[in-house]
Amino acid sequence: MGASDEGRRCGKLEQLIEAILKWLKQAGFAAVRRLPEGVFPALTDTVVAVGIRKAEAKDAGLYSYLGVLESKRAEGTFVCSGFQESMIDPMIYGIILNQDSFENLMELREMVEAGIMRLASQKYDEEDGHALEAMLEKMKEIVHSGDNEVDRFFAVDNEFHDLISQMGKNPLADKISRVVRTLTHAMRYETVATMLNTGRGEELIAAHRCLLETLQNRRLENVEELVRTTYFEDALHI
Domain count, the chain: 2
DSSP label of 34: B
Closest listed residue to residue 124, CA positions, set 218, 14, 10: 218
Q: How far is CA 135 from the centre of its chain?
A: 22
Q: 98: how many CB neighbours lie within 10 A of its CB?
A: 12
Contact (Cβ atoms closer than 8 angstroms) between residue 118 and residue 232: no
DSSP, collapsed to helix, strand or coil, labels residue 223 as helix
In this structure, the answer to whether residues 138 and 205 fall within a common structural domain is yes
Decide which of 88, 112, 140 is a domain's last residue. Answer: 88
The domain in which residue 10 lies consists of 3-88
**95 in any annotated domain:** no
pLDDT of residue 4: 47
Per-residue pLDDT of the chain (238 residues; tens, 9 = 90+): 444 454 454 455 566 766 777 777 666 665 546 777 767 777 778 777 776 666 666 666 666 656 677 777 677 777 776 555 656 666 555 555 555 567 888 888 999 999 999 999 999 999 999 999 999 999 999 999 977 799 999 999 999 999 999 999 998 899 889 888 877 888 899 999 999 999 999 999 999 999 999 999 988 888 999 999 999 988 876 4
Q: 94: how many CB neighbours lie within 10 A of its CB?
A: 16
Closest listed residue to residue 9, CA positions, set 49, 65, 50, 41: 50
In this structure, the answer to whether residues 125 and 224 fall within a common structural domain is yes
Beta-bridge partners for 69: 79
**21 in any annotated domain:** yes
Decide which of 23, 57, 88 is a domain's last residue. Answer: 88
In this structure, the answer to whether residues 62 and 107 fall within a common structural domain is no
**128 in any annotated domain:** yes
Decide which of 56, 88, 120 is a domain's last residue. Answer: 88
